[in-house]
């Protein structure tokens, strides 16, 4: 993943933007956050699979702990994002997130409490990094796709390392501690060398912005639900499951880059409609399933960049809105309704409805952008 990120970055960035930030500086910021994003989700996955789940297996505490972890890790990015917008100390917020995850390891004997602390840490890291990446993105989605992509790989590899016997949890804590030092260095560079700062937060909501947000968040909510119900039988094989996750990662990276080149609407409609068709044939064919999930995830950076651009000075708030919608989409699965729509017709209908909502939202967003020029 590191090599993919470094290869893609020169393809999607101008040498300088209106803030005067050079390409090499953007590469530095995005690379650091992308790598530590992998580490953070990898660490949380190992914590839950390696320490929490075995200790609380078969008890109600495990369900409560996982529910609270997801609530704090996703839904709480919304209030944390609002706070981070005003603090203007994004890398420090991210480093605090890593610190919370270290604390979660230290209190892992207290299952529910550890899940809450890890969820808070995960949310803080994502918000801080997300704001910094959005600050240098110049309203384009390419960098954002690269930043968000490694998390899925971290979750997958963390859980599987525990499954195959990994128990050197102190090593994870050391890696997180090193990540804190790197983020502290990045904070100094961002402030003193690069001169990257948040703009003054100011939320303006009118009829158009409400419609856009509703359409975008519906799409994100459906993406969260579909992403969790895709329990194909062929994913039982490790290498096929890894290819599936790499499809998710590649889709997020490709979605940002392609949408910058060909436009938000074209990229979104083409990827979603094609993925809906491929999912129909994916239940018995891993190739179609991997291709479908790659295309399905291409809208991830699209939805986030639309909200970020619309709420121009509130990037943390925009980031938190999308993760809040992901949490809402995950709730039916967390409460056991995984198989209700896990069939070719159900997935096809959900994705087509998502494509329609996203089309309406982006169309209205384009109108709003033109009127504000």
Helix (H, G, I), strand (E, B) or coil at 98: helix
Q: Which residues contact 192 (CB under 8 A, 6 or more apart)?
A: none
* 55 and 191 co-located in one domain: yes
**Count of domains in the chain?**
2
Last residue of a domain, one of 180, 198, 216: 198
Is the full-model pTM beyond 0.75? yes
3-class secondary structure for 195-263?
CCCCCCCCCCCCHHHHHHHHHHHHHHHHHHHHHHHCCCHHHHCHHHHHHHHHHHHHHHHHHHHHHHHHC
Residues 234 and 194 in one domain: no
Distance CA 120, CA 118 (A): 5
Residues 171 and 209 in one domain: no
182 with 216, same domain: the answer is no
Q: Are residues 304 and 265 in the same domain?
A: yes
Please identify, among 147, 176, 198, the residue that sits at the C-terminal boundary of a domain.
Answer: 198
- Residue 292 belongs to what domain range? 202-373
Read off the CATH number of the domain in which 345 is found: 1.20.1250.20
In the three-class reduction of DSSP (H, G, I as helix; E, B as strand; rest coil), residue 18 is classed as coil
The reply to whether 150 and 16 lie within a common domain is yes
Q: What is the pLDDT along the chain (373 residues), one digit of tens a residue?
A: 333 343 444 444 444 454 557 778 888 899 999 999 999 999 999 999 999 999 888 788 899 999 999 999 999 999 999 999 999 999 999 999 999 999 999 998 889 999 999 999 999 999 999 999 999 998 899 999 999 999 999 999 999 999 998 889 999 999 999 999 999 999 988 887 777 888 877 767 778 889 999 999 999 999 999 999 998 999 989 999 999 999 999 999 999 999 999 999 999 999 999 999 999 999 999 999 999 999 999 999 999 999 999 887 789 999 999 999 999 999 998 888 877 788 999 999 999 999 999 999 999 999 887 776 6
Rounded Cα gap, residues 143 and 139, in angstroms = 10
Please check whether residues 66 and 154 belong to one and the same domain. Answer: yes
| 154 and 214 fall within a common domain | no
Question: Are residues 61 and 185 both part of a single domain?
Answer: yes
Domain final residue, candidates 182, 198, 214: 198
């Amino acid at each position: 993943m590191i090599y993919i990120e470094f290869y893609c970055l020169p393809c999607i960035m101008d040498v300088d933007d209106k803030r005067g930030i050079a390409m090499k500086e953007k590469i530095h910021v995005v690379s650091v956050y992308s790598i530590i994003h992998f580490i953070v989700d990898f660490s949380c996955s190992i914590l839950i699979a390696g320490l929490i789940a075995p200790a609380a297996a078969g008890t109600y505490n495990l369900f409560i702990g996982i529910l609270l972890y997801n609530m704090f890790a996703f839904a709480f990015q919304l209030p944390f994002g609002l706070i981070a917008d005003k603090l203007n100390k994004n890398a420090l917020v991210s480093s605090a997130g890593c610190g919370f995850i270290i604390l979660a390891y230290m209190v892992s004997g207290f299952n529910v409490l550890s899940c809450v602390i890890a969820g808070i840490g995960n949310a803080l890291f994502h918000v801080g990094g997300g704001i910094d990446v959005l600050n240098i993105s110049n309203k384009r989605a390419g960098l954002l796709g690269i930043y968000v992509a490694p998390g899925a790989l971290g979750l997958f590899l963390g859980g599987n390392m525990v499954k195959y016997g990994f128990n050197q949890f102190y090593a994870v804590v050391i890696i997180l501690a090193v990540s804190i030092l790197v983020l502290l260095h990045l904070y100094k560079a961002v402030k003193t060398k690069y001169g990257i700062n948040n703009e003054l937060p100011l939320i303006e909501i009118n009829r158009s912005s409400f419609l856009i947000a509703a359409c975008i968040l519906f799409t994100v909510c459906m993406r969260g639900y579909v992403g969790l119900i895709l329990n194909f039988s062929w994913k039982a094989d490790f290498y096929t499951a890894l290819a599936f996750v790499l499809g998710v990662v590649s889709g997020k990276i490709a979605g940002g880059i392609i949408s910058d080149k060909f436009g938000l609407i074209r990229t979104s409609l083409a990827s979603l409609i094609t993925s809906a068709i491929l999912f129909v044939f994916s239940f018995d064919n891993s190739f179609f399933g991997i291709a479908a999930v790659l295309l399905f995830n291409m809208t991830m950076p699209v939805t986030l960049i639309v909200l970020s651009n619309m709420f121009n000075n509130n990037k943390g708030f925009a980031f938190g809105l999308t993760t809040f919608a992901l949490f809402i989409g995950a709730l039916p699965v967390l409460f056991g309704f995984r198989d209700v729509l896990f069939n070719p017709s159900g997935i096809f209908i959900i994705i087509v409805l998502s494509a329609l909502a996203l089309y309406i939202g982006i169309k209205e967003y384009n109108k709003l952008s033109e009127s504000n020029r």
